[in-house]
Structure 1
Amino acid sequence: MPEVPVAALDLELLRSFQAAAQLGSLAAAAQQRHRTVSAISMQIKRLEETLGSRLLERGSRGVTPTAIGEALLQESRELLRLHDGMLSRFTGRGLGGKVRLGLPEDYARELLGSVLPEFMAYHPDVLLEVVTATSGELARQLSRSQLTLGVVLDRPHSLPGGETLWLTTPVWAGPRVGGLGTRPRLPLALHEVDCPYRALAIESLEAIGKSWHAVFTSTSIHAVEKAVEMGLAISVLDRERLTTAMRELGPEDGLPPLKRCEARLHFARHIDAASQPAVDALANLLRERLSQRGPWRTGGSSGPESRRPPSWR
């Protein structure tokens, strides 16, 4: 009985589609995959013909996945992960290469304490470097490919592309006792320029005509928190960072509401081919652990979710 021919997916086509969908640009995908733009375009066209569906919408600002393309993006990550993991097990070659990851300082403590040590334990041959900075500085480094991968808040500088991991919960933080919010000129503890929460604080106060002055400025989140705890100033922090020496302030204290920020995962435009599997593995881990909830409970759960075998190995 003759065999019925079955369409097969070319993994290289999937990798090119994944790069274009993640980066939002055929040109960026071509640079990352070390191919020409026309080659990437042809690969995606062949994949669309194989599946009989349009996968990317082309526009003046780049490409975005269609509904079918978004579904394929999710499933292709798992397929490529399984393929690469099986290949490394049977060939005896684990993941290697170099990954330079950028993180906002406000979230570095939680990620350094749980997610990243786990990744390094499973991939000891990957040279991982972690950089913490303001989101504005991280955005600049990503645009220059000085970072391979980054978690960046969408303020004050919004990078094109990327994918949302979680929404932040910024709040006005004041000392447990005292009435700093009622002063004619609001004393603020702020990060340097390029900090999303600095931008949020200033925009919100200026929108209601509230006078303010920066009584304390630091690059350290811990120094800013200490200034609040000691009653020196008010600041904008993620709600999860409030300590017992602080309280959340709001309209009753004369302070305006704050907009939420998106924490987004971004890839560099150029990634060395030898490092790409390691970059993808770390990106999958970040998606799995941070999607829709952020870093606050990544290492503290003892429930069924924490015992689920990771899907990024």
Structure 2
Amino acid sequence: MNQASECFSSHVSFCVMNAPEPHPMTVMLDPDQLRTFVAIAETGSFTRAAEVVHKTQSAVSMQMKRLEERVGRPVFMRDGRASRLTEDGERLLDYARRIVKLNVEAVLSFADAALSGRVCLGVPDDYADRYLPDIMARFSRTHPSVELTVLCEPSSELVQHIAGGTIDLAIITATEITARNAHVIRRERLLWVSSARHSVHLETPVPLALGRTTCQWRDIAVSRLVGAGRSHRILYTSPNSGAVAAAVLAGLAVSVLPESALRTGMRVLGSADGYPPLPPCDIGLLRNRHEPSLLADALAQHIVQGLDNLTDAEAAQ
């Protein structure tokens, strides 16, 4: 009896001592900590990130301390007053963005029917005529209780509105400056256009109808003409695409427009007409990181679904 008890005790003791310990990779990452981590990575500052996620700076610091404890690696290094990602932090950032995005999508899949309130979208009028009708129609059908406000202004001004937190989303022309924060969702040809009924494109110097001095297409048009050795003069300037198109259709000037902005009565000009090739036009979606919301996420999904024309291969390239 005693021998049996001793054997049993010994067996039990052996099993307990060799029980497997939890593997460190089974530790779950906190989506709220990851959201704060992404905010720091995008703003470059704990202080600015605290404003974005509506937490105190001490709370943000504590979250990052706990996140580093969870992954077992430092994810930030100090660079003066700024905070830079370590190599491990860079690797974590991609996962963090995907986890936060999936978290939002999961909530949206159950909350769509109940969404209500107001969301504000900024879009240049270049894209408004072509893309807004479909976006508004589909969004209204799936979210009938949501008020959609649309602000039509040039991309450069919409970027400022996003930075100031006055609008939720903006469809913009993605440039070297804005593309860092914008999600490029569409690529189109940028084209030289003139009137199909007039020969203004043959004039020397070439009369141009373009946007304001802050317009990227204006800079591209002028630099390409200079590079091709063609003299030019700015005849009409307007931030409104309708006014620029009117000058073109009236046979008064040549302009540059994305393919989606072409209108009946316009002629596309090419190398055979003496006009140099233009770079493609990238269209991006810019998000208000200061005030993220389920409404903005829902609208963003509709915009991406409606505008995206980039294959995986093109996006990777």
Instruction: Check whether TM > 0.5.
Output: yes
1:253-281 Cα offsets, whole Å, 9 max, x none, are: 2222222343232223532xxx6222222
> What is the rounded CA distance, in whole Å, between the counterparts of 2:188 and 2:91 in structure 1?
26
Q: Unaligned 5+ residue runs, structure 2?
A: 1-18, 312-317
Residues 177-192 of structure 1 aligned to structure 2 (within 5 Å) = 177-192=197-212
C-alpha displacement at 1:34, in angstroms? Answer: 0.6
Partner of 1:69: 93
Partner of 1:300: none
Partner of 2:315: none
Partners of 2:228 and 2:276 within 8 A in 1: yes
Partners of 1:137 and 1:194 within 8 A in 2: no
Moved more, 47-56 or 238-247: 47-56
> What is the rounded CA distance, in whole Å, between the counterparts of 2:140 and 2:128 in structure 1?
16
Closer, same or farther: CA 120–243 of 1 in aligned 2, 3 Å: closer
Q: Does 1:220 find its partner at 2:244?
A: no
Closer, same or farther: CA 7–195 of 1 in aligned 2, 3 Å: same
C-alpha displacement at 1:102, in angstroms? Answer: 1.1
SS of 2:107's partner is: helix
C-alpha displacement at 1:171, in angstroms? Answer: 1.0
> What is the rounded CA distance, in whole Å, between the counterparts of 1:27 and 1:131 in structure 2?
30
Identity %: 31
1:170-201 Cα offsets, whole Å, 9 max, x none, are: 11112225443332211112233433322321
Residues 95-106 of structure 1 aligned to structure 2 (within 5 Å) = 95-106=115-126
Tell me which structure has the larger Cα radius of gyration.
2
> What is the rounded CA distance, in whole Å, between the counterparts of 1:135 and 1:292 in structure 2?
20
Aligned CA RMSD, in angstroms, stands at 3.6
Which of 155, 163, 180 is equivalent to 1:135?
155
Give the count of matched residue pairs.
287
C-alpha displacement at 1:215, in angstroms? Answer: 2.7
Q: Which has the higher helix share?
A: 2
Residues 36-75 of structure 1 aligned to structure 2 (within 5 Å) = 36-44=56-64, 46-47=66-67, 49-50=69-70, 66-67=90-91, 69-75=93-99
What letter is aligned with 1:81? E
Q: Does 1:287 find its partner at 2:307?
A: no
Q: Higher RCO, 1 or 2 (CA under 8 Å, sep at least 6)?
A: 1
What letter is aligned with 1:284? Q
Partners of 2:192 and 2:257 within 8 A in 1: yes
> What is the rounded CA distance, in whole Å, between the counterparts of 2:191 and 2:143 in structure 1?
37
- Normalized against structure 1, the TM-score is what? 0.74
> What is the rounded CA distance, in whole Å, between the counterparts of 1:211 and 1:245 in structure 2?
25
Partners of 1:29 and 1:269 within 8 A in 2: no
